[in-house]
Structure 1
């Protein structure tokens, strides 16, 4: 992000005095949600690189400094805007709820299903379009997958070499959707979801639970 695009965060607020209520005020929540919804819309319509903090602030009718105050950076706001329509925490909990032998299948099916929902397809496609030309967008994709989707599954398993396992799973999932939804490779586009799940799930399962080769 250009320095001119990301304004400095506003000065810290005064310490709360005695009797002052603790917690976020209702107005703060409304403003924060309006920023997030505006960011989601603009990222989905364009790309990560073309969407600026100032444009998001204008769409939300707030000062640009408030965007940084609430979200820290454009990258963190991008990750939050992806999380907004997905409600992943509940869905990941469902993935983890039953036997570990079916984790790969459930995770792949969940990931592919996100691309079929109108509410999540736009933001996800915007993310994927951006990663090829913008390193910050690529970093945001890695952050999203590691913190919101693959990371929680690997952490729950308590397996060895968790970072490598997360990276292997993420690379497989990204490659699949790039081929199907961004590059439009015919065989992947024409394959139904259950066929893709059957093909890819065993690989994901191995990355999640099998012993990995020793490092040389």
Structure 2
């Protein structure tokens, strides 16, 4: 009931326009109950997506060694999670949803600030909003090319080759000079 209300609210109002109180009212429960079961709005957003993996948890080990080499480590986690046959269908369905122009706010107002921006902050990057938006553009390109459109040869490249191809660009976005 709470998750259904959260999905409806995030879809209709976006991340920024959704409140715990609003979700609670829609679900017919007290806001304290929502906080009790789901914690913060960020946690509720991730739960409402019904992802097989919490991306914040999956990416955490890749951040432990700092910004140097993080592009490769983050890509390995990202591709590993997406390539897992148990995860791929759910993630592809989510990606197809995000391609709908009316759902762009979920990525812009939800996924970027809840998942990616904390990565930039954990790595102590300067201008994390810009850097992580650039990283997101690469990740979305991989998702679209490899998993949604299944463009060859990207779709069938071994994960190591894909990481080798993209890691320098992602690393440059993380730590290189910006305009």
Same fold judged by TM-score > 0.5? yes
Which residue of 2 is the match for residue 112 of structure 1? 79
Which residue of 1 is the match for residue 89 of structure 2? 122
1:209 CA drift (Å): 1.1
1:106 CA drift (Å): 0.8
Distance 1:67 1:211, change over 3 A: farther
1:80 CA drift (Å): 2.7
Aligned residues: 152
The answer for unaligned runs of 5 or more in structure 2 is 13-24
Which residue of 2 is the match for residue 138 of structure 1? 104
Cα separation, 2, equivalents of 1:138 and 1:156: 25
The answer to whether 1:66 aligns with 2:27 is yes
1:207 CA drift (Å): 0.6
2:130 to 164, 167, 190: 164
TM-score by length of 2: 0.71
Which residue of 1 is the match for residue 70 of structure 2? 103
Which residue of 2 is the match for residue 153 of structure 1? 119
Cα separation, 2, equivalents of 1:159 and 1:195: 27
Cα separation, 1, equivalents of 2:160 and 2:27: 44
Q: Contact 1:79–1:140 (CA<8 Å) still a contact in 2?
A: no
Cα separation, 2, equivalents of 1:120 and 1:78: 18
Distance 1:146 1:107, change over 3 A: farther
1:126 CA drift (Å): 1.5
Q: Contact 1:82–1:124 (CA<8 Å) still a contact in 2?
A: no
Q: Which residues of 2 match residues 11-90 of structure 1 at below 5 A?
A: 32=2, 35=3, 65-66=26-27, 70=34, 79-82=46-49, 84-90=51-57
* The structure with more helix, counted as a fraction of residues: 2
Cα separation, 1, equivalents of 2:57 and 2:149: 30
1:99 CA drift (Å): 4.3
| Partner deviation per Cα, 1:98-156 (whole Å, 9 max, x = no partner) | 24321000111111112122443233212211222242x222123224312x2222112
1:82 CA drift (Å): 3.4
Deviating more after overlay: 137-146 vs 93-102: 137-146
Which residue of 2 is the match for residue 59 of structure 1? none
Q: Which structure: larger Rg?
A: 1
1:79 CA drift (Å): 4.1
